[in-house]
Amino acid sequence: MPTSAFGPSLNELGYHVGRVKGNLYWVTDAVYQAMFLTTRTGVVLVDAPPSIGHNLLRAIEEVTRANGRPSKVTHLIYSHYHADHIEAARIFGNKVERIAHVETDRMLCAARDTNRPRPTTTFRDRYTLKVGGERLELAHHGPNHTPDNIFVYAPDYQTLCVVDVVAPGWVPFRNLELSQEVSNWIKANEQVMRYPWTALVGGHAGRLGIRADAELQMDYLDDLATHARATIEDFDVTPYFEKYGPSGNAYAAVKHYMDDAARQVAEPVIAKYTGKLAAVDVFTTDNAFSMLQSLQTYNGLSFGGSGIRP
């Protein structure tokens, strides 16, 4: 495990809170992250992971006691609808203004989870939040990890918060962050680099990101895609159907050739990024599987170039 993957130590209550820049702060439990902006009239919080829970309140109180700004959370921004990032929303009460993408509202309406109250303000493409002399720019650049996942940019502090896209110091979580649309999730990685940020809050792990982290992840994804394309072109699936075909168990044939193909893709990538990215040996085979699936279903590639049956 590269030591660069790890962030600051946690306090006795199990969290770390630190200044990103100016009035912008972040809090982590070494697994999840949230970001908050202290303003003249209250606090704007981005995400409320349940694993941090009431430590969010403690972290905010710690910061505002020191900087003399109000500690009340007046605005809560949802990055996306997933419970692991916003299920502590209810601890901020009913009077907080909750801001999210319109698709987040649709998903939460269907979920009916009282821990994730529906947003009170929604937007479709862009939304600028100005509160107490501070500003955040919210944008939806299309579906990626989820259909509703948004970018939150603090221009005065050159800080970008985008969750479940870039994992600073680590490989992407299993199956490319369990993304619903892998091709668009990869495009979201590219979109991240179009913002002029110097600090990144990625929603996971124990430290902030820098631009080199996002560049390294792009290199990893490029290598994964290159090896996946080569494997799709050259991999012979015939032996798998010869083995399992007589039994009629086509699922077994597909499972085993896909598993073996994913391992073939992953092997050189693991070798290249060992010591550079944490958990490269843990999730790269899963990530290779998702890359193979995306290249087939989105890009129209097929094993051995079989294509349309003549």
Q: Give the tens place of pLDDT for each residue, 62-95.
A: 999 999 999 999 999 999 999 999 999 999 999 9
Position 216 in a domain: no
Could you tell me if 103 and 198 lie in one domain?
A: yes
Could you tell me if 235 and 269 lie in one domain?
A: yes
Q: How many whole angstroms separate alpha carbon 104 and alpha carbon 161? A: 17
Could you tell me if 147 and 282 lie in one domain?
A: no
* CATH of residue 115: 3.60.15.10
Could you tell me if 43 and 80 lie in one domain?
A: yes
Could you tell me if 127 and 248 lie in one domain?
A: no
**Mean pLDDT computed over every residue of the chain:** 96
Range of lowest pLDDT (146-160, 196-210, 229-243): 229-243
Could you tell me if 117 and 35 lie in one domain?
A: yes
Q: Give the tens place of pLDDT for each residue, 191-235.
A: 999 999 999 999 999 999 999 999 999 999 999 999 999 999 999
- Domain end, chosen from 209, 232, 259, is at 209
pLDDT of residue 305: 62
The structural domain count of the chain equals 2
Could you tell me if 112 and 44 lie in one domain?
A: yes
Confidence of residue 245 (pLDDT cuts 50, 70, 90): confident
Position 214 in a domain: no
Could you tell me if 123 and 242 lie in one domain?
A: no
Q: Above pLDDT 90, what percent of the chain?
A: 92
Q: How many whole angstroms separate alpha carbon 142 and alpha carbon 191? A: 10
pLDDT of residue 296: 92
- Please give the order of strands across the beta sheet that includes 33-38: 16-21, 24-28, 33-38, 43-46, 73-77, 97-101, 121-123
Position 109 in a domain: yes
Cα separations (Å) of 60 from 17, 34, 38, 56, 211?
8, 11, 9, 6, 27
Residues found in the chain: 310
State which residues form the domain around 62: 3-209
pLDDT of residue 304: 66
Q: Give the tens place of pLDDT for each residue, 269-307.
A: 999 999 999 999 999 999 999 999 999 988 888 886 666
